[in-house]
Structure 1
Amino acid sequence: MNPEWHQVFAFSKDRLQSSVLEVFVKDKEMVGRDDYLGRVVFDLNEIPTRVPPDSPLAPQWYRLEDRRGEGKVRGEIMLAVWMGTQADEAFPEAWHADASSVYGEGVLSIRSKVYVSPKLWYLRVNVIEAQDIVSNDRSRIRTEPFEEQLLLTVEDRVHPTREDVLGKISLPLNIFEKRLDHRPVHSRWFNLEKFGFGVLEADRRKELKFASRIHLRVCLEGGYHVLDESTMYISDQRPTARQLWKQPVGILEVGILSAQGLLPMKMKVGRGSTDAYCVAKYGQKWVRTRTILDTFNPKWNEQYTWEVYDPCTVITLGVFDNCHLGGGEKPNAPSAARDARIGKVRIRLSTLEAFRIYTHSYPLLVLHPNGVKKMGELQLAIRFTTLSLANMIYVYGHPLLPKMHYLHPFTVNQVDNLRYQAMSIVATRLGRAEPPLRKEVVEYMLDVDSHMWSMRRSKANFFRIMSLLSGMISMSRWLAGICQWKNPITSVLVHILFLILIWYPELILPTLFLYMFLIGIWNYRFRPRHPPHMDTKLSWAEAVHPDELDEEFDTFPTSKPHDMVRMRYDRLRSVAGRIQTVVGDIATQGERWGPFSAGGTPEQPVFLPCSVFVQLLFSM
Structure 2
Amino acid sequence: MKMRDGRGSTDAYCVAKYGQKWVRTRTLLDTFSPKWNEQYTWEVYDPCTVITLGVFDNCHLGGGEKAPGNNVVRDSRIGKVRIRLSTLEANRIYTSSHPLLVLHPHGVKKMGELQLSVRFTALSLVSMVHTYGQPLLPKIHYIHPFTVNQIDNLRYQAMNIVAARLGRAEPPLRKEVVEYMLDVDSHMWSMRRSKANFFRIMSLFSGMLTMGKWFSDVCLWKNHVTSILVHILFLILIWYPELILPTVFLYMFLIGLWNYRFRPRHPPHMDTKLSWTEAVHPDELDEEFDTFPTSRSQDVVRMRYDRLRTVAGRIQTVVGDIATQGERFQSLLSWRDPRATSLFVVFSFCAAVTLYATPFRVVALVTGLYFLRHPRFKSKLPSVPSNFFKRLPARTDSLL
TM-score over 0.5 for the pair: yes
**Alignment partner for residue 32 of structure 2, among 278, 281, 296?**
296
SS of the residue 1:300 aligns to: coil
Alignment of 1:138-537 (within 5 A): 265-325=1-61, 335-537=71-273
1:509 CA drift (Å): 3.2
With over 3 angstroms needed to count, the CA separation of the structure-2 counterparts of 1:379 and 1:466, relative to structure 1, is same
What is the CA deviation profile of residues 10-39 of structure 1, one whole-angstrom value per residue up to 9, with x for unaligned ones? xxxxxxxxxxxxxxxxxxxxxxxxxxxxxx
1:484 CA drift (Å): 5.0
Mapped partners of 1:451, 1:516: distance in 2: 36
Mapped partners of 1:468, 1:524: distance in 2: 20
SS of the residue 1:549 aligns to: helix
Letter in 2 for 1:547: D
Mapped partners of 1:306, 1:498: distance in 2: 53
1:431 CA drift (Å): 0.8
What is the CA deviation profile of residues 128-149 of structure 1, one whole-angstrom value per residue up to 9, with x for unaligned ones? xxxxxxxxxxxxxxxxxxxxxx
Letter in 2 for 1:284: Q
Partner of 2:369: none
1:402 CA drift (Å): 3.2
1:505 CA drift (Å): 3.6
Which structure: greater strand fraction?
Answer: 1
Partner of 1:230: none
Mapped partners of 1:385, 1:510: distance in 2: 36
Task: Give me the identity figure in percent.
Answer: 84
1:394 CA drift (Å): 1.8
Letter in 2 for 1:309: Y
* Greater gyration radius: 1
What is the CA deviation profile of residues 90-146 of structure 1, one whole-angstrom value per residue up to 9, with x for unaligned ones? xxxxxxxxxxxxxxxxxxxxxxxxxxxxxxxxxxxxxxxxxxxxxxxxxxxxxxxxx
Unaligned runs of 5+ in 2: 63-69, 320-360, 366-400
1:399 CA drift (Å): 4.1
What is the CA deviation profile of residues 47-71 of structure 1, one whole-angstrom value per residue up to 9, with x for unaligned ones? xxxxxxxxxxxxxxxxxxxxxxxxx
Partner of 2:322: none
With over 3 angstroms needed to count, the CA separation of the structure-2 counterparts of 1:362 and 1:391, relative to structure 1, is same
With over 3 angstroms needed to count, the CA separation of the structure-2 counterparts of 1:494 and 1:400, relative to structure 1, is farther
Mapped partners of 1:522, 1:512: distance in 2: 15
What is the CA deviation profile of residues 244-286 of structure 1, one whole-angstrom value per residue up to 9, with x for unaligned ones? xxxxxxxxxxxxxxxxxxxxx2222222111111000011100
**Alignment partner for residue 551 of structure 1, among 287, 298, 315?**
287
SS of the residue 1:386 aligns to: coil
Mapped partners of 1:302, 1:336: distance in 2: 30
What is the CA deviation profile of residues 149-177 of structure 1, one whole-angstrom value per residue up to 9, with x for unaligned ones? xxxxxxxxxxxxxxxxxxxxxxxxxxxxx
Mapped partners of 2:148, 2:220: distance in 1: 46
With over 3 angstroms needed to count, the CA separation of the structure-2 counterparts of 1:474 and 1:398, relative to structure 1, is farther
Alignment of 1:54-65 (within 5 A): none
1:341 CA drift (Å): 1.4
What is the CA deviation profile of residues 213-264 of structure 1, one whole-angstrom value per residue up to 9, with x for unaligned ones? xxxxxxxxxxxxxxxxxxxxxxxxxxxxxxxxxxxxxxxxxxxxxxxxxxxx
Mapped partners of 1:398, 1:543: distance in 2: 41
Report which stretch shifted further, 384-393 or 487-496: 487-496
1:325 CA drift (Å): 4.0
1:462 CA drift (Å): 1.3
Letter in 2 for 1:286: W
Letter in 2 for 1:324: H
1:351 CA drift (Å): 1.8
Mapped partners of 2:144, 2:223: distance in 1: 53
Larger relative contact order (CA 8 Å, sep ≥ 6) = 2
Unaligned runs of 5+ in 1: 1-264, 327-333, 584-614
With over 3 angstroms needed to count, the CA separation of the structure-2 counterparts of 1:434 and 1:452, relative to structure 1, is same
What is the CA deviation profile of residues 535-584 of structure 1, one whole-angstrom value per residue up to 9, with x for unaligned ones? 11111011111111111001111111359x69x96xx89x98xx9xxx9x
SS of the residue 2:46 aligns to: coil
Q: So what's the TM-score if we normalise by structure 2? A: 0.70
Give the total of aligned pairs.
307
1:445 CA drift (Å): 0.5
Mapped partners of 1:472, 1:400: distance in 2: 30
